[in-house]
Amino acid sequence: MTLKPGKELVAGQSIILNQPGKETGTMPKIRRALISVYDKEGIVAFARGLAELGVEIMSSGGTARLIRESGINVIEVSAYTGFPEMMDGRVKTLHPKVHGGLLALRDNTTHIRQMKEHGILPIDMVVVNLYPFERTVAKEGVTMEEAVENIDIGGPSMIRSAAKNYKHVAVIVDPDQYAPVLEEMKKNDGRISESKTLELAVQAFRLTARYDGAISGFLARETQDAFPQRLFAEFLKRQELRYGENPHQAAAFYVEAKGSIEPCVSRLDQLCGKELSFNNILDLNAALELVKELDDPGAVVIKHTNPCGAGVAETLSEAFRKAHSGDPVSAFGSIVGLNRCVDVQTAEEVTAPGNFVEAVVAPDFTSEALEILKTRRKWGANLRVLRSGELGRVHPGRTSMDMKKVVGGMLVQTRDAVFEDFSNVKCVTTRKPSQKELNDLKFAWIVVKHVKSNAIVLVKDGTLVGVGAGQMSRVDSVEIAVKKAAGRAKGSVLASDAFFPFRDGVDVAASGGAVAIIQPGGSTKDDEVIGAAEGHGISMLFTGRRHFRH
């Protein structure tokens, strides 16, 4: 078939050959579009808009049928290529007449000559979205066969061909792009600027990169390759922030593109208050991750990612009172985390005279409690109130990896999301803890896991009364925790995130009045440390598990 600018007949259909454009920075008029979408949201309206602008439409399978049934002329890809769909639709657009029409450079005379020789028509726009691989593999019990059948081949191939040739071809991969593209075409006599097609190409390659990453990630998991040779992760920008940790640092908040299956800081719904800051987000994450682990009504008060207060009680309001009483001075300008729906009484406690809270996060809020938080006191309008939805522990095997960025690299590990089984905890002293002490020890062991190492916490009556965080020497952390607790250290229990290397930490704890200690054990000086506990009449439990947090 010899092709000339104008109209040619293919399988009884009128197809327009696009004349290469001469414009600088502007595409030729869009005359032909190939549409093949899995997600058909908005596609009929978009196809109709293209048709009204004189664009000829090619399509295949269910997309072609939907467009045709909507009264819009459409040319079957198989009619154009002369090759039928086959292998249950696996092969339909993988054809030189399709990819040649996408890849040909319109200003290259050799390409134009070869197009004419082989009956290849230029395709100026591709509208494609992909099989839902990520949604498929996120389902419980998905089989390998089901996952493989949802690996799109033809779609990514067309997207890549079109995106590579962005100076001549527009590639549309998201229904959100339909309206702005149509608007630009209407304003410019059916044309799209090169700056726009470049923007579309960038989004297209991001899509295929994410898609291939999801596939390789799934297959790697199936081979039990938890840490593959190459790590692909995609994050979407949630918001730009006023600044970073300090005002001279620019910052933005990104969230995992695949989303999270658990309540977390990336999924919070802000109900009122000022925009979140970089440091707010870090502290909200710390608050939420701690209260997730508390079974009883619980509250935490966070400063600089460390809990300066925490409490559990029969009611949420009482838990908050306990948490705030742990260190009222440090609690000024804090982040509060709660693990139950906030009621009026708790809201009254949070906004009591003398309190200053930057943000509150909880599963939900009653309408009356939310009104109090919004309006109480002069700083109420600025109080950030965030809803997490129902909290619950997620099995460690289903959580995302923990990543810590270093200059020039990334450290990746499984999250410290284990559920502590206290049936395996061993008492190594003659004196056993009372039931009340044991309850406090369990609470202390949860809290110390969320304190920067070297971490020491003192707990009494379900209340965090002393914290020693981030010290280079463990005994220094003990001294700080005892000092913070003051008289409340007497009768308290102590948790240490790692073993005591020497007996000095036990001696300091005993001098403050601690009556029981929980720690991992495992030091070469364990006998000496246990001997110190025995000498002071202190109960000591070994968990066999360390909880460093750097």
Q: In CATH, what number is assigned to the domain containing residue 81? A: 3.40.50.1380
What pLDDT score was predicted for residue 1? Answer: 30
**φ/ψ of residue 308, rounded to 5:** -95, -10
DSSP state at residue 176: G
How many separate domains does the chain show?
3
What pLDDT score was predicted for residue 120? Answer: 83
**φ/ψ of residue 76, rounded to 5:** -70, 135
What pLDDT score was predicted for residue 91? Answer: 61
Is 0.85 surpassed by the pTM of this model? no
Instruction: For residues 213 and 65, state if they share a domain.
Output: yes
DSSP state at residue 19: P
Instruction: For residues 216 and 116, state if they share a domain.
Output: yes
Q: Domain span at residue 188? A: 6-222
Catalytic residue of the set 40, 116, 274, 304: 304
Residue 172 lies in a domain: yes
What pLDDT score was predicted for residue 307? Answer: 97
Query: Largest Cα–Cα distance of the chain, in whole Å?
Result: 101
Give the Cα-Cα-Cα angle 334, 340, 341 (nearest 5 degrees): 95
Residue 54 lies in a domain: yes
| One-letter amino acid of 365 | F
Instruction: For residues 81 and 202, state if they share a domain.
Output: yes
Residue 59 lies in a domain: yes
Residue 392 lies in a domain: no
Residue 95 known to be catalytic? no
Instruction: For residues 265 and 213, state if they share a domain.
Output: no
Instruction: For residues 75 and 216, state if they share a domain.
Output: yes
What pLDDT score was predicted for residue 20? Answer: 44
Q: Which residue has tokens 């919004």?
A: 374
Catalytic residue of the set 40, 116, 164, 525: 164
Instruction: For residues 265 and 320, state if they share a domain.
Output: yes
Instruction: For residues 267 and 207, state if they share a domain.
Output: no
Q: What share of the chain is helix, strand, coil (3-state, %, to 5)?
A: 40, 20, 40
Structure tokens at 47: 């196809």
Tell me the sheet residues that pair with 13: 10
SS3 for 266-296 is HHCEEEECCCCCHHHHHHHHHHHHHHCCCCC
Instruction: For residues 371 and 493, state if they share a domain.
Output: no
Tell me the sheet residues that pair with 405: 410
Contact 516, 541 (CB under 8 A): yes
Domain boundary among 366, 387, 408: 387
Residue 409 lies in a domain: no
Q: What is the residue-wise DSSP string for 389-451?
A: -S-----GGGSPPEEEEETTEEEEE--S-PPP-GGG-EE-SSSPPPHHHHHHHHHHHHHHTTS
In this predicted model, what pLDDT tens digit does every residue of 362-419 receive, in sequence order?
Answer: 999 999 999 999 987 555 568 999 999 999 766 555 567 889 999 999 898 988 887 7
Residue 404 known to be catalytic? no
Give the Cα-Cα-Cα angle 319, 323, 328 (nearest 5 degrees): 140
Residue 313 lies in a domain: yes
Residue 418 lies in a domain: no
Residue 399 lies in a domain: no
Q: In CATH, what number is assigned to the domain containing residue 287? A: 3.40.140.20
Instruction: For residues 430 and 371, state if they share a domain.
Output: no
Instruction: For residues 332 and 461, state if they share a domain.
Output: no
Domain boundary among 365, 387, 409: 387
What pLDDT score was predicted for residue 85? Answer: 66
Cα-based torsion angle of the residue sequence 219, 222, 228, 233 in order, rounded to the nearest 10 degrees: 60
Contact 276, 384 (CB under 8 A): yes
Domain boundary among 359, 387, 415: 387
In a 13 Å sphere around the CA of 53, the CA atoms on its Cβ side amount to 25
Residues of the chain with pLDDT under 70: 1-26, 83-93, 133, 136-139, 221-225, 259-260, 377-381, 393-399
Instruction: For residues 380 and 512, state if they share a domain.
Output: no
Instruction: For residues 211 and 309, state if they share a domain.
Output: no
